[in-house]
Amino acid sequence: MTTIMIVEDEQAISVLLKYNLEKAGYKTVCVAHGNRVLSAVEKHLPALILLDWMLPEISGLELCKLIRNNPELKNIPIIMLTAKGQEEDKVNGLSAGADDYVTKPFSVPELLARIKTNLRRVSTTTAPIKKEYSFMDIRINMVEKKVFRNDVYVQIGPTEFRILKLLISNPRQVFSREDLLKEVWGNNVYVEPRTIDVHIRRLRKALNDYGPDYIRTIRSTGYSIDDKESLAQ
Ligand code: CA
């Protein structure tokens, strides 16, 4: 079932949206607090987000930017809901990365039509978000954010998880430290390239208790995951 996340602090609107979306066959997740949105999106991986502009704690506009800067979440379509109808707000919303923009009070059939259009567009332009990745005996579950080796649960930190996910979803591809910085930490974040080596070391340590080391260090280039010994090592 397709999950749609409703981010809205006005309960009456949230209830109205939930009722109509569920009637239309969608599963819904409602979030009323701006500061809970990112973790809820990571947890539920919705197919689309309806995002209210005016939220307590953090604005819809800021959230939109945060979601777009997160490599895991950036492809999820976002429809901004707003009481503001001015042209410049629309431009701000779209330039922050929203895919569409609906002004309150909105008509439910129109909103449903917009949702459908945005879902269709994303399903033809990007691959669906995978729920699981694996390489040899290593398996990662994207829903539970858990790693397993030979079905044994391996405890790793969130950064190590993101690095592993990137490597495992692109097996044998070599990533430079700069690639990893961009893909794992996102743009506009300053991290020392050497920090990556620390996280790679932690990742290896966690994984290698349970099986051979598949993480390859390609000297002066970067890292990859590979079951064959690299000649460049
Ligand atoms: Ca609001």
Q: What is the pLDDT of residues 147-158, one digit of tens each?
A: 999 999 999 998
Query: Ligand 1 centroid to 81 CA: how many Å?
Result: 9
Domain spanning 132-225, CATH architecture: Orthogonal Bundle (1.10)
Stated length of the chain: 233
The CA 10 to ligand 1 mean position distance, Å, reads 6
Domain with CATH 1.10.10.10 in the chain: 132-225
- Has this prediction a pTM greater than 0.85? no
Distance from residue 65's CA to the centre of ligand 1 (Å): 18
Q: Enumerate the CATH 3.40.50.2300 domain ranges in the chain, comma separated.
A: 3-125
**14 Cα–ligand 1 center, Å:** 10
Cα angle vertex 127, ends 164, 44, to 5°?
65
Q: Are 142 and 42 in contact (CB under 8 A)?
A: no
**How many whole angstroms from 70 Cα to the centroid of ligand 1?**
24
d(CA 102, CA 6): 13
DSSP type of residue 171: T
pLDDT-based confidence at residue 232 (cuts at 50, 70, 90):
very low
Residues 7-61: tens digit of each pLDDT: 999 999 999 999 999 999 999 999 999 889 999 998 899 999 999 988 888 888 8
- Ligand 1 centroid from CA 154, angstroms: 41
Q: From ligand 1's centre to the CA of 6, what distance in Å? A: 12
Task: Give me the DSSP letters along 175-192.
Answer: EEHHHHIIIII-TT----
Predicted local confidence at residue 216, as pLDDT: 93
Give the pLDDT confidence of 193-205 residue by residue, as tens digits: 888 999 999 999 9
**What's the 116 CA to ligand 1 centre distance in angstroms?**
23
Mean of pLDDT over the chain:
87
Measured between alpha carbons, how far is 181 from 96 in angstroms, rounded to an integer? 22
Q: How far is the CA of 83 from the centre of ligand 1 (A)?
A: 8
Q: Which residue is associated with the tokens 């009637």? A: 23
What CATH code would you report for 3-125?
Answer: 3.40.50.2300
